[in-house]
Amino acid sequence: MDNKLSKATEEKDTKNATLVDVAKTAGVSVSTAARVLRNSGYPVDQKLKERVNAAAKAVGYVPNLVARRLRGGKQGVVGLVIGDMLDSHYGIIAESVTKRAETAHSTFAIVCNMQRDPLLEIKYLRKLLEYRVDGIILAGGGFDQWTHRDALAETVDELNRAGTIVASLMPRNIEVPVFSADNEAIGITKANFIVQNGHTKIGILLGPARNDMTKQRMQAMTSHLSGYMVDYAIANIDSTPEAGALGAAEMLARNPDFSALICGSDAIAFGAISYLRGEGIDIPGRISVMGLGNTRLATLCTPALTTVEMNFDRAGSAALDFITSHDASAVSMPGEVISHSLVVRDSFARLNGPAEPGAEDTQHVGVTIS
């Protein structure tokens, strides 16, 4: 008895007040307190309402979302798992999705950084499952490893069985709705732009070959280019500015006469431009450079990068729509293709053509494709 009492008072100090405390303080039943505080349509006497509100404030009541969740219902929280927080590619995804979630879906997005580790991605997913968030947006594509594919598939399956909606912003090797740009179309967009600007000898610096998206873009681009008289050399490197610089150096050493460098990410392009300018090479006068992603780096770069906007805000919004609109018993849905667009800036020039009069200086003049 004594034990129980002391425990009770002890808890009063640390744990926060519950509905029971509020009800007791206000002198009403728990149900009434709940009805007032939940603000449901249920009619409650104005006087009691005030008493309950006052009591809630007095005892410092904070609703326990976990308990609420136990009974079911949406909580207005989605989890977002991104590949690498410092990679601007994922950074812009995190920024787009968190902003969209809050402004357009009155939802809170919590971001998990899987740190390029597929195993950690799964661990985070399990934690999110534990917390019973409404839904999860996967944005960790690019670091898939076959050793963890089954574990990931199983985890996503568990999530679905538990009623957590999962969507992905990138194609993965698992069954999940994908809201992503069409990577093959992007490859073709890039190829067309190269050809239209008269480049016939190009270097291609792509991200790691293990990345499915990279593969899709590359295959589409090269097969499209092969229809024209275009020579190209391809290298797969890490998607970082540092690797981009090294890659550009090697590319230059082996193929000294290419006039355009097509990069698999803005990060690679940034590093490449840094290196090339350091070597005194005029960009885009001597070599035109193109990135991918329209990240922060694209405008930080000098000259500003011509790149591809992948509209992650739209993709994120579509994924959020999917998550909030579908119930646990959602029919499996293939996802949605998000349109992309070419953002033309100063790093890419028409080969041997006359300088365009009044070249676009605007930063977001984009040609929407598909």
**Does residue 368 bind a copy of itself (CB under 8 A)?**
no
Q: Give the one entry of a copy of itself, DNA, none that residue 73 binds, where binding means its C-beta sits below a cut-off of 5 to 8 angstroms depending on kind.
A: DNA
**Environment class of 88 (CB within 10 Å of its CB; exposed 0-12, middle 13-18, buried 19+):** buried
Question: How does strand 335-338 pair with strand 288-290?
Answer: unpaired
Shortest reach from residue 320's CB to DNA, in Å: 23
Closest CB to DNA among residues 32, 347: 32
Write the single-letter amino acid at 228: Y
Among 53, 74, 131, 255, indicate the residue that binds a copy of itself (CB under 8 A).
Answer: 131
Task: Count CA within 13 A, CB hemisphere, residue 99.
Answer: 10
- Prior bond of 357 cis (ω within 30°): no
Kindly tell me the sign of the dihedral angle through the C-alpha atoms of 65, 70, 75, 77: positive
Shortest reach from residue 251's CB to a copy of itself, in Å: 19
Per-residue binder mask for DNA (CB under 7 A), 27-56, x = binder:
xxxxxx-xx-xx-x--xxx--x--------
Query: Segment contacting DNA (CB under 7 A): 65-73, 189-197, 256-264, 277-285?
Result: 65-73
Q: In what order do the strands lie in the sheet with 260-263?
A: 231-236, 201-206, 260-263, 288-290
Tokens of 224: 């499209």
In 3D, which of 219, 279, 215 has the Cα closest to residue 246?
A: 279
Q: Give the one entry of DNA, a copy of itself, none that residue 236 binds, where binding means its C-beta sits below a cut-off of 5 to 8 angstroms depending on kind.
A: none
- Prior bond of 284 cis (ω within 30°): yes
Query: Segment contacting a copy of itself (CB under 8 A): 106-114, 185-193, 206-214, 231-239?
Result: 106-114
Closest CB to DNA among residues 324, 363: 324
Residues at the site binding a copy of itself, with contacts judged by CB under 8 A: 13-16, 60, 62-70, 75-77, 79, 85-86, 91-92, 94-95, 98-99, 102, 108-113, 115, 120, 123-124, 127, 129-132, 158, 161-163, 241, 270, 274, 277-278, 296-297, 300, 302, 327-329
Residues at the site binding DNA, with contacts judged by CB under 7 A: 15, 18-20, 27-32, 34-35, 37-38, 40, 43-45, 48, 61-64, 67-68, 70-73
